[in-house]
Amino acid sequence: MGANILNREIPLGKEKFIPRSFDENNFVMDWECTKGGMVPPHFHRHMDEHFTVTKGEVTFTVNGGKIVKHEGETLLVPKMTPHSIKNNSDESIALRVTYTPNADAHKMFSAWATFHDDGDSLLTGFLKWLYLQKKLNWRKFSEPAHPVGTAIFAAMDGVALTLGKINGWDKYLDKFNSKK
């Protein structure tokens, strides 16, 4: 299935992901984020998310409340819990992130790595991933925690399906259609 993702950097904007291991039960990755980077409010329907700060000071917002964590500290965010992450510091931050269960997370990162390797822009890779997610019935990695975000993602799904049909993205279906 797609690119080999273990122990390789997958850059996405101000973020960098380094998948470390996965099986049916867990997906473990290292996540780095540069100054000013953030993950907008979202929730995970299918998995819990466990964070261990490995560098810096990280500002989380969980269910509307701010929580600041430092190197060595942990935070568990249960599935269906709205949360966001922000790097308010002047330096990069790093975290070890574990998703339990895996719930297709490895498939998303494999797709992103493949599209990055192919030279796709961040937007094109994102749209191709949405296309695969819909066509192959992958579980959604995350969902926006605000109705406006939900509407935007629904529109992007439609755009991805339309662009996929026009641009022949079905060629990716066999490559990523794996039960693993």
Alpha-carbon distance of 63 to 44, in angstroms, equals 13
Alpha-carbon distance of 5 to 120, in angstroms, equals 17
Does residue 92 share a domain with residue 27? Answer: yes
112, part of any domain: yes
Least confident interval from 103-112, 151-160, 170-179:
170-179
Give yes or no for residue 180 having a pLDDT over 80: no
4, part of any domain: no
> What are the pLDDT digits (tens) for 89-107?
999 999 999 999 999 999 9
Does residue 127 share a domain with residue 89? Answer: no
Can you give the pLDDT at residue 148?
Answer: 83
32, part of any domain: yes
Residue for token pair 């993950």: 39
Residue 153 sits at φ, ψ, to 5 deg, of -65, -40
Does residue 20 share a domain with residue 74? Answer: yes
Residue 88 sits in a domain whose CATH number is 2.60.120.10
Give yes or no for residue 179 having a pLDDT over 60: no
- 1 — pLDDT class (breaks 50, 70, 90): low
Does residue 160 share a domain with residue 112? Answer: yes
> What are the pLDDT digits (tens) for 117-163?
999 998 899 899 999 999 999 998 898 888 888 888 899 999 999 99
- Residues spanned by the domain of 32: 10-100
Give yes or no for residue 31 having a pLDDT over 60: yes
Alpha-carbon distance of 147 to 57, in angstroms, equals 29
> What are the pLDDT digits (tens) for 57-87?
999 999 999 999 999 999 999 999 999 999 9
Does residue 111 share a domain with residue 96? Answer: no
Is 75 within 8 Å of 50 (Cβ atoms)?
Answer: yes
Q: Which of 48, 50, 40 is nearest to 81 (CA)?
A: 48
